[in-house]
Amino acid sequence: MKDLQNIKQRFGIIGNFEGLNRAIDIAVQVAPTDLSVLITGESGTGKEIFPQVIHSYSARKHGQYIAVNCGAIPEGTIDSELFGHEKGSFTGATDSRKGYFEVADGGTIFLDEVAELPLSTQVRLLRVLETGEFIRVGSSKVQKTNVRVIAASNVDVPGAIDNGKFREDLFYRLNTVPIRIPALRERGEDIFLLFRKFSVDFAEKYRMPAIRLDSEAKQALIDYSWPGNVRQLKNITEQISIIESEREIVVAGLRNYLPDYGKTKLPAVIRKEEDKSFSSEREILYKILFDMKSDMNDLKKLVFDLIRNGEVDIAVQKTSPGFIKNLFREADPGEDVATDTRTETVEFQQHQTRNDIQDTEEIIEESLSLSGKEEEMIKKALEKYNGKRKMAATELGISERTLYRKIKEYGIES
């Protein structure tokens, strides 16, 4: 392996963390080959340095090195950027143009945020990786290229595959050699080394003394979670260098620049909105029945309270003793309902005498026969129009012929 310290010095890599050294080791070992490499790690960890290491120690080091941020190119133009296009192939294509794969022939292409590529572009990329062939947008001519592809992503690519956003075959083709860049919070003392390097750089840039940290501030720096990784550390170091007048930073001053310092990172509680949809008509029916039952129980309790308070005497007279017994049982389970029907009837009669109200109303059960209702409506319509069938039929919404047949069927005199 090449001298590790020389590599770090050449590419500005700071730190001695074992995981970082392992990533550099893999990059140097895979460089002489033409294997595809997939670099993974959180945003801000410095993934863009490792493709440069691989290219510089490869046989392609004198060829073109092109870095492409796939997430920054609009979906409608990404194919043209990568593979080129012919004149007139789309609106605005006034001239033919070479794509990155054509320009970088014999060199290296670094596809940053490769998981952001559209699925259609992923198919084209897979063809280049497998056969070295591509076709310009608007052309039918197959062209060849000899390019080494290094890709990087800060998202969970297997998760993107499960969600149908990334092709599984492309993942395995790119992931021939995986390199993982550790997050800054995993690197321990490397955090302070990076802070010291950045403070010296900004002191030279702004022509001022470099800032320092006391022992407590150093520990606070290491304990912080650094969600933005090295990029966040660099930005905070620059802020402190410019804003703070004191060159020695204490822990209280440092914490002013660390968002959410000391807060426990717990999983976010996501409250789902109540699912008011129903998966079937049966569930809708059950919901209606349950609502009806609830309304009926509320109504029974209301009537029970009115009866018990003597506010609905007429209702009591019209109610059978059996109904009262059920009402007491359902509306107030705590009541003592262990009385027999005979006792209940006596109490009912006593209540009648006490209120001295006679029930003279006869309850006639209403017929629910459809034919009976139909006959009644026909009679009313004929009566309304003095036996004129045409007008009666119009009122009923049926034809005069149907009305005539119904009159004969029910034996109605008109």
143 and 210 housed in the same domain: no
pLDDT above 60 (res 367): no
Q: What residue ranges in 170-291 does DSSP mark as E strands?
A: 177-180, 212-213, 248-249
User: Per-residue DSSP letters for 269-312?
Assistant: ---PPP----SSHHHHHHHHHHHHHHHHHHHHHHHHHHHHTT--
Question: What pLDDT does residue 269 have?
Answer: 44
170 and 222 housed in the same domain: no
Mean pLDDT value across residues 60-81: 94
Residue 129 is assigned to a structural domain of this protein: yes
d(CA 306, CA 387): 50
pLDDT above 80 (res 380): yes
220 and 90 housed in the same domain: no
215 and 137 housed in the same domain: no
Whether the Cβ atoms of residue 61 and residue 32 lie closer than 8 Å to each other:
no
- This prediction has a pTM of 0.62
Residue 284 is assigned to a structural domain of this protein: no
Question: What pLDDT does residue 3 have?
Answer: 85
Mean pLDDT value across residues 121-129: 96
The amino acid that residue 305 corresponds to is D
Between these two residues, 293 and 314, which has the higher pLDDT value? 293
Whether the Cβ atoms of residue 406 and residue 378 lie closer than 8 Å to each other:
yes
178 and 197 housed in the same domain: no
Q: 182, 215, 246 — which closes off a domain?
A: 182
223 and 325 housed in the same domain: no
Residue 260 is assigned to a structural domain of this protein: no
| Residues counted in the chain | 414
Nearest to 23 by CA among 182, 174, 146: 182
Range of weakest confidence among 3-7, 28-32, 84-88, 269-273: 269-273
d(CA 250, CA 257): 12
% pLDDT > 70, the chain: 77
* Residue-number span of the structural domain to which 322 is assigned: 292-355
Mean pLDDT value across residues 268-289: 54
Mean pLDDT value across residues 52-72: 96
146 and 175 housed in the same domain: yes
124 and 242 housed in the same domain: no
161 and 224 housed in the same domain: no
10 Å CB burial of residue 104 (0-12, 13-18, 19+) is buried
Q: 234, 255, 276 — which closes off a domain?
A: 255
Residue 220 is assigned to a structural domain of this protein: yes
Whether the Cβ atoms of residue 118 and residue 165 lie closer than 8 Å to each other:
no
Instruction: Give tens-digit pLDDT for 324-364.
Output: 555 555 545 544 444 444 444 445 455 444 544 444 444 44
d(CA 241, CA 212): 10
Tokens representing residue 164 in the block:
């149908």
CATH of the domain at 9: 3.40.50.300
d(CA 302, CA 300): 5
CATH of the domain at 377: 1.10.10
Question: What pLDDT does residue 279 have?
Answer: 47
Question: What pLDDT does residue 303 have?
Answer: 72
Between these two residues, 103 and 310, which has the higher pLDDT value? 103
194 and 334 housed in the same domain: no
d(CA 41, CA 152): 8
Tokens representing residue 331 in the block:
């509306």
125 and 173 housed in the same domain: yes
Total of domains in the chain: 4
73 and 159 housed in the same domain: yes
Residue 276 is assigned to a structural domain of this protein: no
Whether the Cβ atoms of residue 120 and residue 159 lie closer than 8 Å to each other:
no
Contacts of 388 (CB under 8 A, 6+ apart): 382
CATH of the domain at 227: 1.10.8.60
d(CA 46, CA 207): 27
